[in-house]
Structure 1
Amino acid sequence: MSDAEVSFGTTARPVSSGACTFFAGSRSDAFFFDYDGIKNLFDTSGGRNFTAPHLGGTSPWTGVDSNLEANVFSMALEVPTSELHDDSEIRVWGRCSVRENGRLIHADRAGHPSVSSFFNTDETKLEYNAGEPVNDRERWTDQFVHLMGHTGNYTREEAIAAIDADRILPDMLVFDPSKPAQYPNGRVFTDDVINYRLSFLSKGDIPPTGLEPHTDLLSEFPYLGNPHAKTT
């Protein structure tokens, strides 16, 4: 595929080559989370990030989906499952880079949803985003273990076992095509990955947010809903 049109309007304009289909453009963001509730839950002052959840008192959740009318600039690629070889796993990660003074600066990367956001501090996020998964386990295991000791009272052994069970390090999303897609085996748009991550961090002590997946998802490619109209 080459010279694919980028869709900025409400009509998606995918292109196909053989059994593969590609799309790039503006879409409704499927990610749902209670941002104000997360701010109520964690004290992030002083660069501490998500290390001190306030548990045991009034529920932090507001019931408001902060992304209900958000749009996202997206790329989607549809490949037949038969091309993935159902006897082996695939691992996926991606990065966003921006051009600055003639150089590409690695500004963000992700494999597992929300791992970079919750496990990094202001001091480490730039290094994390500039890195690559091949170095993750050696570089970041101790920091992840330390954080989980604060958020869920994990011992070192328990934290490493939990990290290994979900295969968080290296930070690549694992998908086994022979099994149903549901996080942490891949991810679908209706997966509540924030509830999953908060439960993981707190060893099950943080209550669910109560939010529901977005209802504007499409049953056909590119699956993300039409973009919301801009408001003034």
Structure 2
Amino acid sequence: MSHHLSGPDLRSPGDDARLDLTDVFAFTAPSRERTVLIMNVNPFAPTRAEHFHPDAVYRINVDTDGDSLADVAFSFVFSPPGDGGQTVSVHRSLGRRAQSHEPGAERLIADAPVSFDSDPEVATAGELTFSAGIRSDPFFADLDGIVHDFRWTGRDSMADQNVFGIVLEMPNAELGSNPLIGVWARVSVHRDGKLVSMDRGAHPSLTAYFNSEDAKDTYNAREPADDWENYRDAWTAVLQHTGGYGVEDAHRVLRQILPDILRYDRSRPAAYPNGRKLTDDVTSARLNMVSGGRITTDHIGPHNDLLDRFPYLGNPHPVGAAAMSG
């Protein structure tokens, strides 16, 4: 289910929804001169967690030269929640420093308010625009149909669910002159004096289909630059089993998703797997891939509550209206 519940046994990593990355998006803003990057966390918010984790580092990584290593990284660090709500600071790292999971020394935004109601809090730093808070979950899928041998129910399992969204918009030039970038997100948490990677990803629905339960925590801790070496053989075996692929065809397909970095050529319209818009039908794309073309759709379309302006994610559903599921 996209990247929701990406720990073992369909649970959040570390059994903590605050550390659970759900989706990553990269697309061009309506102005066409600005890039939008979104990472969502905390599935079924706020039923499993009411705030961002104050000991976590939430991060969006950007590869600008095609070597599968971060060249620009934006990190988001949240205050402990209190009576006044919660605040967030935005840090940026460049070059080799972007490859560390720690927040960068350059702080772009300090102590911006986090939104826990329908009105998004928006902060700016120069030409960068930022927002963090509870929003409607844009992911759409017939999850009940998927887990019951593809007997479709016609029900969008995420239609009334919320997530915590982290949204950045910036001029294209902020991410370099090369229109081709690679994007992935990571959630780490400080434990016993160390920063521990709990979740990471970019492409939707990889760990759910490809990783065994005992491999998920290791996957979440690793670097995408090593994905081809680490997962080519195991994931080839999965495609041979689920889709009847030969080895050569399996390798060709896996090159689209390994390393687990969302490539986006900004000189072309965003449409998954070239970036990812909020309306892209990634569930059908993944079903088609893993089934070898036998299953092409789950018959569920995008949500109609998306915004045509920043922060793009729809207003959150009223607390209590969304039934906890998963």
Q: Aligned match of 1:73 in 147, 164, 179?
A: 164
In the TM superposition, what is the alpha-carbon distance from 1:86 to its structure 2 partner? Answer: 5.7
TM-score (norm 1): 0.87
Cα distance in 2 for partners of 1:28, 1:88 equals: 30
Cα distance in 2 for partners of 1:121, 1:82 equals: 40
Cα distance in 2 for partners of 1:177, 1:5 equals: 31
Give deviations 1:94-126, integer Å, cap 9, x for gaps. 112244455443221111111122211101101
Equivalent residues in 2 for 1:124-139 (5 A)? 124-139=215-230
**Corresponding residue number in structure 2 for 1:39:** 147
8 Å CA contact 2:285, 2:296 repeated in 1: no
Instruction: Could you list the structure 1 runs, at least 4 aligned residues long, displaced by more than 6 angstroms after superposition.
Output: none
In the TM superposition, what is the alpha-carbon distance from 1:83 to its structure 2 partner? Answer: 3.5
Give deviations 1:33-64, integer Å, cap 9, x for gaps. 111111112xxxxxxxxxxxxxxxxx511111
Pair 1:170-2:259 in alignment: yes
Equivalent residues in 2 for 1:1-232 (5 A)? 1-41=109-149, 60-85=151-176, 87-164=178-255, 166=256, 168-231=257-320
Q: Percent identity?
A: 46
Cα distance in 2 for partners of 1:115, 1:97 equals: 19
Give deviations 1:163-199, integer Å, cap 9, x for gaps. 22x2x11111101110100100000010011110010
Q: Which runs of 5+ in 2 are unaligned?
A: 1-108, 322-326
Cα distance in 2 for partners of 1:17, 1:225 equals: 23
Count of matched residue pairs? 213
Cα distance in 2 for partners of 1:32, 1:99 equals: 32
**Corresponding residue number in structure 2 for 1:54:** none
Q: Which runs of 5+ in 1 are unaligned?
A: 42-58
In the TM superposition, what is the alpha-carbon distance from 1:15 to its structure 2 partner? Answer: 0.6
Relative to its length, the structure with more strand (as a share) is: 2
TM-score (norm 2): 0.62
Cα distance in 2 for partners of 1:203, 1:77 equals: 35
Relative to its length, the structure with more helix (as a share) is: 1
